[in-house]
Amino acid sequence: MNMKITPFISNNNIYSQKSEKNSPAFGTTHRYYKNANGEFGTNTWPFRDDIDWKALSEYEKKHFKNTQKVNLVQFASSDGSEAYTQIISLIENNPSADDKKFFPIKAFDIDPEVVKAAQSRLLNTMTFDRVSLQMNTENYDKYFKETGKKLDIKDDIKFDSVKTLEVSKILTDKVVFENADMYKVLAKMEDNSNTILMCRNILGYFDDNKIENFIKLVAEKLKKGSLFLIGEHDTRISFTERYLGENGFTKVMKHVFKKL
Ligand SMILES: C[S@@+](CC[C@H](N)C(=O)[O-])C[C@H]1O[C@@H](n2cnc3c(N)ncnc32)[C@H](O)[C@@H]1O
């Protein structure tokens, strides 16, 4: 089944740059590649503003207050930007010793090149990303350091303002990046009502019937109380939200759904 490939267009088009592929865009990593299932796009950046990260982390802590271990799983994890965003949000908002129950995040992406980048503990950033990180944490210098090392991601669009940052062990120790297809991981997943499944800005690339089938599988796997997170790209051009409603999920905040 082929994916719908749509150009990544940002309203916040401050880093518009002509690329060979198409589209004005911004984002730490922006790469196209092909595999047996079709043409894919990776496009991500830290503190992607389609979710209220502070409110989310506070909700996660409250919701799983009486849970000893939370199974935090991330599909479509790309270069690590999103995992670092979730970790910073969890450790900085209402911090407590109990926060360790959320870690390590188990992060999966089907693209071996982008997984290799995430595993390198380096992160390519543009000015927008660094400003966004600095606005969202007072501990920027604790988490990220400029480095002479270069992170070369094959087929990534090269922007002039890219700086490679070294990511501190404070963050990298809290996530494990693995190269895997989310379908295979989902098929083996066991839930005990303690799962947060992040699957953001990927379903929107699939055809509708594939999205619906995926949501049905998620609904079979997740038990009452577990959370499922999607993104703007999933809601804007697909019926993902409708399928979630039809398969036993209720919306608890923008792009965050709870299994009933
Ligand atoms: C647009 S990026 C989204 C990144 C991040 N979740 C975010 O919201 O910023 C989509 C990612 O999904 C990955 N992907 C595509 N199909 C996948 C699959 N079947 N299993 C795991 N990852 C997949 C791509 O390699 C790409 O890195």
Quickly state the pLDDT bin for 24 (edges 50, 70, 90): very low
pLDDT tens, 52-92?
999 999 999 999 999 999 999 999 999 999 999 999 999 99
The domain segmentation of the chain, as residue ranges, is 37-121+170-259
Q: Which CATH architecture has domain 37-121+170-259?
A: 3-Layer(aba) Sandwich (3.40)
pLDDT at 23 over 80: no
Q: Which residue has the higher pLDDT, 228 or 5?
A: 228
In which band, very low, low, confident or very high, does the pLDDT at 30 lie, cut at 50, 70 and 90?
Answer: confident
* CA nearest to 47, candidates 66, 26, 32, 71: 26
The predicted model gives 150-157 an average pLDDT of 86
pLDDT surpasses 60 at 11: no
Q: How high is the pLDDT of residue 15?
A: 30
Q: Is the pLDDT score of 2 beyond 70?
A: no
Residue 242, H or E segment: helix 240-246
**Within 10 Å of residue 234's Cβ, how many Cβ atoms?**
24
Question: With contact defined as beta carbons under 8 Å apart, do 53 and 38 qualify?
Answer: no
| pLDDT of 46 strictly over 90 | yes
Q: Which of 40-44, 104-108, 138-142 has the lowest mean pLDDT?
A: 40-44
pLDDT of 157: 77
Determine what percent of the chain falls in helix, strand and coil, rounding each to the nearest 5.
Answer: 35, 25, 40
For ligand 1, atom 9, name the residue with the nearest CA: 44
Protein residues with CB under 6 Å of any ligand 1 atom: 40-44, 48, 75-76, 78, 82, 108-111, 114, 181-183, 200-202, 231
Residue 120 has pLDDT above 70, yes or no: yes
Q: Which residue has better confidence, 13 or 75? A: 75
Q: Is the pLDDT of residue 17 over 50?
A: no
Q: How far apart are CA 260 and CA 247, in angstroms?
A: 9
User: From ligand 1's centre to the CA of 74, what distance in Å?
Assistant: 10
- For residue 103, how far is its CA from the centre of ligand 1 (angstroms)? 21
Residue (of 67, 23, 74) closest to 51 by Cα position: 74
Greater confidence, 100 or 9?
100
What is the band of 156 on the pLDDT scale with cuts at 50, 70, 90? confident
Q: Give the pLDDT score at 27.
A: 60
CA dihedral 193, 73, 183, 224 (to 10 degrees): 10
pLDDT tens-digit readout, 160-178? 778 999 999 999 999 999 9
Q: What is the pTM of this model?
A: 0.90
Among 202, 203, 207, 236, name the best residue to mutate to test ligand 1's pocket (greatest count of ligand atoms within 8 A of Cβ): 202
Given ligand 1 and candidates 3, 33, 81, 110, which is best to mutate, with the most ligand atoms within 8 Å of its CB?
110
∠ Cα 183 58 258 (to 5°)? 40
Q: Calculate how far, in angstroms, residue 76's C-alpha sits from the geometric centre of ligand 1.
A: 3
